[in-house]
Amino acid sequence: MPAMAIVPDAENMEAEHQEEQESSPALLSDAQRLYDLGCAAISADSYEEAIDCFSKALEIRVNHYGELAPECANTYYKYGCALLYKVQAESEALCDRNEEDAPSSNKPASGEGEPAEAGGSKEPADDDSEGEDNERAEGKAEVDGDDNEVDLEEEEGDIELAWKLLETARVIHSKQPTRSLDEVDVITALADISLEKENFKTCYVDYEQALHILQGLVEPDSRLLASTWYKMALAKQFDNRPQEALVFCEKAVTICQMRLDRLYKEQETLKASQEDTIGKLDEGEKKSASEDSKMEEKLVDGEKKATSEETLEEVSEAEDKETSKYAKVDAEIKEIEESLVDLKEKVEELKQMASAPSLFEALKAENPEAATMMSEAVGAVFKKITRVEGGVPFTFTTPEAAAMSSIVV
């Protein structure tokens, strides 16, 4: 019996390998297309679509480059962010739904304010009907409760997956020889997840690491620094440390003000330069008009001599560039001015909160037991409010409310 030939198998394997190599550029092109679609979906708040795109793009890139390849870092990051944004959006939606389901204090009692039927007064509903209504209400509450539990479990799964993806991106960046803004984004997103989970200790560590890297990469008046200080302030506020939160928030205000002062000066410089350019343009147009009838084409060493029209075109292009720069600076100034209003309101809120512990300490010294009971009660209410708000910071409407929120010990 003749021996089996193994050469054809080897040839087939080589052919398959070559086919895979040839298809790689097409697959990587698909990965980039999916990545771009995912980014667009995030911008449109279509988080489910973004998650689907990033998961497919990540699979292709991991298969091609390897699990911990630098080329995969941004896809891990975007995928993790899409999951985090989805959880935050669902938390806000759940909060809105709970508010809608809550009974309104303005709703009239049964039979109150309702017109009687024509021809006589409206008779009260019998006990059986009332009992059925109660049973239906209880059944709906149970169903809503089950739905909320399912939503919560799904959110926990999404947040854990987001953490794993972002942690993988962090590991990849940590192995690079230099630090980068991409690494800062990853660490900040991990801190955001810890804040969402109320894991404040880890949250502070991550924000501080991001801040340390940022300070070596950007200018002292960078808005990225202000944003990080503000996030740290929010974390301290949620952790019921208003005095520390106040310090961080004031740092954010200082940086924004520094940036604003620099932009004001830049705006004045651009304005003066723009006026000078316009003056040159007007002067050039007048000169061109007076010389038009005398101007003739002349050749110097085979090349056309520059005409006044060419000079005018250059001046006009310079004016367009300066106008564009001025518009960008003006837009950033408006953004920072709006942010400063919000930041200063937050500073005032934190000042009110920070002044409250002295009142609580007085109560604690006089009646420790009552102070402990009060702290526990306020703490439960405050944590419930922050959960309902979906992790989104809010401003207390009265000094008393701000003070009450800060006495949790």
Closest to 67 (Cα-Cα) out of 164, 184, 189: 164
- The number of residues making up the chain comes to 409
Residue 180 backbone dihedrals phi, psi, to 5 degrees: -150, 165
Q: What is the pLDDT of residues 121-152, one digit of tens each?
A: 444 445 555 555 555 555 554 555 555 565 66
Q: Report which DSSP code applies to 70.
A: G
What pLDDT, on the 0 to 100 scale, is given for residue 98?
59
What pLDDT, on the 0 to 100 scale, is given for residue 339?
95
What pLDDT, on the 0 to 100 scale, is given for residue 378?
55
Residues of the chain with pLDDT under 50: 1-8, 10, 13, 17, 21-22, 104-125, 141, 299-305, 381-409
Distance between first and last Cα of the chain:
88
What pLDDT, on the 0 to 100 scale, is given for residue 137?
52
Instruction: Give the Cβ contact number of residue 75 at 10 Å.
Output: 26
What pLDDT, on the 0 to 100 scale, is given for residue 369?
79
- What is the residue extent of each domain of the chain? 21-99+158-186, 240-289+309-352, 356-409
pTM for this predicted structure? 0.67
**Owner of token pair 């019998």:** 126
CA distance 286 to 293: 13
CA distance 185 to 224: 10
Quick check: 231 and 188 in contact, CB under 8 A? yes
Annotate 350-388 with b (16+ C-beta within 10 A) or e (fewer): bbbbbebbeebeeebeeeeeebeebbeebeeebeeebeb
What pLDDT, on the 0 to 100 scale, is given for residue 155?
73
Instruction: Give the Cβ contact number of residue 186 at 10 Å.
Output: 29
Q: What is the pLDDT of residues 101-112, one digit of tens each?
A: 555 444 444 444
CA distance 263 to 373: 51
Residue 115 backbone dihedrals phi, psi, to 5 degrees: -70, 145
Amino acid 198 reads E
What pLDDT, on the 0 to 100 scale, is given for residue 273?
81
| Fold entry, domain 21-99+158-186 | 1.25.40
What pLDDT, on the 0 to 100 scale, is given for residue 324?
86
What pLDDT, on the 0 to 100 scale, is given for residue 87?
94
